[in-house]
């Protein structure tokens, strides 16, 4: 199963991806998680990406395409993967198709979680409260100012990715405002599982 999950920040992509990992036994490839790991490890990519991420802007296409290109070659991706947070620009979507073609692979599905934007800030606040209640820390970019920039980046750069896949008849849209279990059920139906 090679799947792309699309949707704005706070749409529930991470939550649903975790469930799909269990069901299909393929890894979740979150460019956000990989970049946060690079920041924590202070790798050259991490050092460059930190300020951009904290501000809620997008890291350059070359960097994330390179990360995904390499990651897909790992043994645990042999049966597939769930892309969460990538592609985020039309250029990334095109690069993804090219790199998969080069590897002799193709996507099985592209699914968008459609959500009401008004709910997203509340979901972000809840994610912060949950992280703190669990004894952890909130993400550096989960604050109202960065979140606003992330939503603007989504509208300007990532919403066109949905249109890109829709124009190729590759996109399935599901209601991301439904309760989590219902979203999972709809996702499974969309995937024919
Ligand atoms: P996420 O965890 O998906 O919300 O990503 C957190 C941050 O990492 C984003 O706000 C961007 O700064 C960066 N990022 C993650 N994925 C991408 C991507 N595909 N393209 C550009 N920047 C990304």
Domain count, the chain: 1
DSSP 89: S
Q: Known catalytic residue: 127?
A: yes
Query: Is residue 25 in some structural domain?
Result: yes
Range(s) of the domain holding residue 25: 2-188
Minimal-distance CA residue to ligand 1 atom 8: 32
Q: Using a 6 Å cutoff on CB, does residue 115 contact ligand 1?
A: no
Contact of 116 with 178, CB cutoff 8 Å: no
Q: Do 193 and 23 meet the contact criterion of CB atoms below 8 Å apart? A: yes
Which own/partner pairs from 90-96 qualify as long-range (CB within 8 Å, at least 24 positions apart)? 90/160, 90/161, 90/164, 91/61, 92/61, 92/64, 92/65, 92/161, 93/161, 93/164, 93/165, 95/61, 95/65, 96/4, 96/65, 96/68
Confidence (pLDDT) at 129: 93
- pLDDT score for 118: 87
54 part of a folded domain: yes
Among 55, 58, 72, 138, which is best to mutate for testing ligand 1, by the most ligand atoms less than 8 A from CB?
A: 58
Predicted pLDDT at 171:
97
- Is 7 close to ligand 1, i.e. is its CB under 6 Å away? no
Q: Residue 84: inside a domain, yes or no? A: yes
User: Looking at residue 192, what is its pLDDT?
Assistant: 86
Whether 158 maps to a domain, the answer reads yes
pLDDT at residue 117, rounded to an integer: 87
Q: What is the pLDDT of residue 123?
A: 87
Residue 193 included in any domain: no
Residue 83 lies in a domain: yes
Predicted pLDDT of residue 109:
96
Read off the CATH number of the domain in which 94 is found: 3.40.50.300
Best residue for ligand 1 mutational test, from 59, 65, 84, 147 (most atoms within 8 Å of Cβ): 59
Q: Which of 2, 36, 50, 150 is catalytic?
A: 150
Q: Residue 155: what pLDDT?
A: 95
pLDDT values of the chain reduced to their tens digit, one per residue, 193 residues: 999 999 999 999 999 999 999 999 999 999 999 999 999 999 999 999 999 999 999 999 999 999 999 999 999 999 999 999 999 999 999 999 999 999 999 999 999 999 998 889 888 899 899 999 999 999 899 998 999 999 999 999 999 999 999 999 999 999 999 999 999 999 999 998 7
């Amino acid at each position: 199963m090679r799947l792309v999950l699309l949707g704005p920040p706070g749409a529930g992509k991470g939550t649903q991806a975790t469930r799909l990992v269990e069901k299909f036994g393929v890894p979740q490839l979150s460019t956000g998680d990989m970049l946060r790991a690079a920041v924590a490890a202070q790798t050259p990519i991490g050092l460059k990406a930190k300020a951009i991420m904290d501000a809620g802007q997008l890291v350059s296409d070359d960097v994330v395409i390179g990360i995904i290109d390499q990651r897909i070659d790992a043994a645990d991706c042999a049966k597939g993967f769930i892309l969460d947070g990538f592609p985020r620009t039309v250029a990334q979507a095109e690069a993804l198709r090219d790199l998969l073609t080069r590897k002799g692979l193709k996507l099985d599905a592209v699914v968008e979680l459609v959500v009401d934007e008004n709910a997203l800030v509340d979901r972000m606040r809840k994610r912060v409260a949950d992280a703190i209640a669990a004894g952890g820390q909130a993400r550096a970019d989960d604050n109202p100012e960065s979140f606003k920039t992330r939503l603007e980046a989504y509208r300007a750069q990532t919403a066109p990715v949905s249109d890109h896949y829709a124009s190729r008849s590759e996109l399935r849209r599901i209601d991301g405002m439904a309760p989590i279990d219902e979203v999972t059920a709809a996702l499974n139906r969309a995937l024919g599982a």
